[in-house]
């Protein structure tokens, strides 16, 4: 059965999900999960809409919405505002202890990377983004990019760059190379710092990542240094349903 073929067959499958004493939203979750586990609905396939589920199964929109929200939290499906609901891809793994180029990570997984540039501009440094105390109020470079794996946005990169370390930063075409790639050439990394938090993305970040408000996200706060000093600070925001962090260490 194709995912978009919403007809009596869905109702039959729903009837087979178990005892009617089980809450209806749990039975909907069982139905969707079973189709995914059995590979009838494959990674990246578009699921029926809420309205199609409501019509096919004779349930309330509230019941269907709860089932889909919980399946999203479980990482089985991805809901993209204005686009639809899809079977989730295997979570993208990002290194916890290393600073890697996201384009390389995506290509190593056999997928296509592309970047959407939101802004690249010069700004006045506030207290948080002054690279030295004496640079408060001086110029910094600010870029906001969205990184895509195939057609799915997986990271918002919000970065401030020290002009003394990368004076030509604003002139780069970040649809052709990543900030990480460029900065590693002009200001080779000697030290890095990661802080990882679980957060709820802001309204703009939800829009850029095409996720619902309230979906948990992973936030990596990253600072990198060259031998001359601090090069950049970045906020890297990943939808929790599409990403995981992994690392290895030895004693």
Q: Strand 84-87 and strand 77-80: pairing?
A: antiparallel
Sequential pLDDT tens for the chain (251 residues): 444 455 556 666 666 655 667 888 888 888 888 888 888 888 888 888 888 888 888 889 999 999 998 888 777 888 877 788 888 876 555 554 456 788 888 888 788 999 999 999 999 988 777 676 667 778 899 999 999 999 899 999 999 999 999 999 999 999 999 999 999 999 998 888 888 888 888 889 999 999 888 788 889 999 999 988 899 999 999 988 766 655 544 55
Q: Using CB atoms within 10 Å of the CB of residue 185, give its burial: 0 to 12 exposed, 13 to 18 middle, 19+ buried.
A: exposed
Strand blocks (E) in the chain: 77-80, 84-87, 92-95, 113-124, 139-149, 152-161, 191-200, 216-226, 229-239, 243-246
The separation between CA 167 and the C-alpha centre of its own chain, rounded to angstroms, equals: 30
DSSP states of 168-193 as a string?
TGGG--TTTS-HHHHHHHHS--SEEE
């Amino acid at each position: 059965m194709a995912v978009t073929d919403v007809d009596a067959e869905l109702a039959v499958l729903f009837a087979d999900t178990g005892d009617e004493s089980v809450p209806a939203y749990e039975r909907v979750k069982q139905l969707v999960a079973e189709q995914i586990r059995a590979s009838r609905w494959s990674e990246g396939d578009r699921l029926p809409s809420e309205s199609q589920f409501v019509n096919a199964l004779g349930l309330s929109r509230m019941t269907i919405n709860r089932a889909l929200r919980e399946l999203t939290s479980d990482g089985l499906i991805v809901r993209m505002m204005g686009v639809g609901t899809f079977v989730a891809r295997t979570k993208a793994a990002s290194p916890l202890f290393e600073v890697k180029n996201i384009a390389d990570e995506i290509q190593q997984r056999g997928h296509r990377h592309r970047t959407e540039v939101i802004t690249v501009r010069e700004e006045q440094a506030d207290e948080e983004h002054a690279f030295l105390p004496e640079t408060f109020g001086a110029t910094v470079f600010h870029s906001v990019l969205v990184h895509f794996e195939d057609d799915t946005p997986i990271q918002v990169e919000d970065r401030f760059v020290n002009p003394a370390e990368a004076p030509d930063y604003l002139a780069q075409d970040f649809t052709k190379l990543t900030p990480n790639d460029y900065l590693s050439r002009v200001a080779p990394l000697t030290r890095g710092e990661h802080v990882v938090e679980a957060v709820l993305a802001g309204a703009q970040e939800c829009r850029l990542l095409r996720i619902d408000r309230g979906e948990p996200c992973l936030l990596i706060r990253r600072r990198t240094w060259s031998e001359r000093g601090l090069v950049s600070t970045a906020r890297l925001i990943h939808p929790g349903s599409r990403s995981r962090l992994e690392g290895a260490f030895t004693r």
